[in-house]
Structure 1
Amino acid sequence: MLSPMTTTTPSNRPCTCGSYSYLVLVHEGAKGDKVWQRRDTGCADTTHRTFAAGHDSKLKSLLIAAGIGGHQIQQVSGDVVTAKDALRVAADLGWEDIVREGIARGRGNRP
């Protein structure tokens, strides 16, 4: 039997959904200056899993919204930012069909 001091508990880490976002152009000035707004899941939770409970759905919704708008998804990991198409991110996560259908519905197309 393990004593309480020798048991291991998975350490909490940031929920993965919080590392994804995209930018939306909200204003373009006459001089070419642009104002962008970051859209993300709003997640600051920690978990011992990849996603906090229900946060895979939050990320799917974010991917669908980005896909509908044609925005690149950015994933931040430490000092590295990776930008990909929403469907590519979804495919990497095993959700390509779900996200593709959501994007099609959002654009008023049949999946």
Structure 2
Amino acid sequence: MKKLFKRTAGRTPARSAAAVGLAVALAVPATAAVAVAPVAAIPPGLSCDTGKHAIDDYTGYALCRNNGSTTQTFWVHLVCGWSPDVDGEHVTLRPGASGQSTAHCAGLGTGIGEIHVRP
């Protein structure tokens, strides 16, 4: 029976392929492996500030003002790392009014990863 692969330096073809794959994986910079999702756009007509509570990294908020000409509803959405994501209370604003929605991630996770405002 004829050999399909030539042995080189004591390595089998599978080991050679694994070594090449490992070398390619290690050549990728560490920063390239971390992907950050883009932050969702704030709904039109609202101007919002978002953030974490000053002394609690598990509580986030969205403080919004309705600059539009129609009534709008919004809520804060927290991406909570290892814990399930959570939504804050729905807040309805008349034109010119301001309001705040807050939410709290479970203590089992790593805290808030992202804060979004949802319409």
Please classify the TM superposition score into its range, dividing by the shorter chain length: under 0.3
Larger C-alpha radius of gyration, 1 or 2?
A: 2
Higher helix share: 1
TM-score scaled by length of structure 2: 0.22
